[in-house]
């Protein structure tokens, strides 16, 4: 396995809250740094996987498990 670093922007999320952070952590995004800048909220991931596509797809799946449906890769 390799480690892949990438960013995902959360669309439709206006505020960075403790509830959001907790939901993402509990959904499996414990390998990401949650941030807010210039009105955008995103996650910087460092995720282990066999391929970058697999890392990206598993991160999106975890974000959706946290109840967030709109996310975009950067």
Q: Which domains does the chain have, with CATH numbers?
A: 2-73 (3.30.70)
What's the pTM value of the predicted model, to 2 decimals? Answer: 0.90
Rounded CA-CA distance 3/68 in Å is 24
pLDDT band at 27 (very low <50, low <70, confident <90, very high): very high
**Which conformational region is residue 33 in: left (phi greater than 0), alpha (psi within -120 to 50 degrees), or beta?**
beta
SS3 call for 32: strand
Percent of the residues in the chain that have a pLDDT greater than 70, as a whole number: 99
Average pLDDT over residues 23-46: 96
Average pLDDT over residues 6-34: 95
Average pLDDT over residues 27-52: 96
Whole-number average pLDDT of the chain: 94
């Amino acid at each position: 396995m390799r480690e892949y670093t990438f960013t995902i922007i959360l669309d439709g999320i206006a505020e960075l809250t403790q509830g959001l952070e907790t939901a993402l952590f509990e959904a499996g995004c414990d390998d990401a740094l949650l941030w807010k800048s210039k009105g955008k909220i995103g996650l910087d991931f460092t995720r282990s996987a066999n391929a970058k596509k697999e890392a990206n797809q598993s991160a999106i799946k975890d974000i959706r498990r946290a109840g967030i449906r709109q996310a975009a890769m950067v």
